[in-house]
Amino acid sequence: MLKKIIFVSVCLSLAACATLSPRARIENRLVEIGLSERKAGCMANELDDRLDREDLSEVADFLGDVNEASADGENYDALLNIDNARAAAAIAAAGLACAFGN
């Protein structure tokens, strides 16, 4: 019985580690909407520096909906429409930092 409990605990721990962090989800979703891997990595790093984990998770979730926008300009506009002022400001600042810094 104890072996089963330990096995289940190990499996649950491994599953938790395998879940992508909000930062990684943001980077993946930015690539999906058309940013280069370099720009997406830059944006994800900037957002990770500027936002707490809760805001990062909200941005990552929001980006799932942004994938429906068709043109790059619409994608960026959609990013700024997030219903979180801190996140919108961080996205704008990250976009500027990555556009001029890289």
Give the model confidence (pLDDT) of 34-49 as tens digits. Answer: 889 999 999 999 999 9
Is residue 24's pLDDT more than 50? yes
Q: Terminus-to-terminus CA distance in the chain, angstroms?
A: 55
Q: What one-letter code names the amino acid at 24?
A: A
Q: Which pTM value belongs to this model?
A: 0.70
CA dihedral 48, 80, 59, 94 (to 10 degrees): -10
pLDDT at 76: 61
Q: Which element (helix H / strand E) includes 50? A: helix 37-50
Cβ-based neighbour number of residue 32 at 10 Å: 14
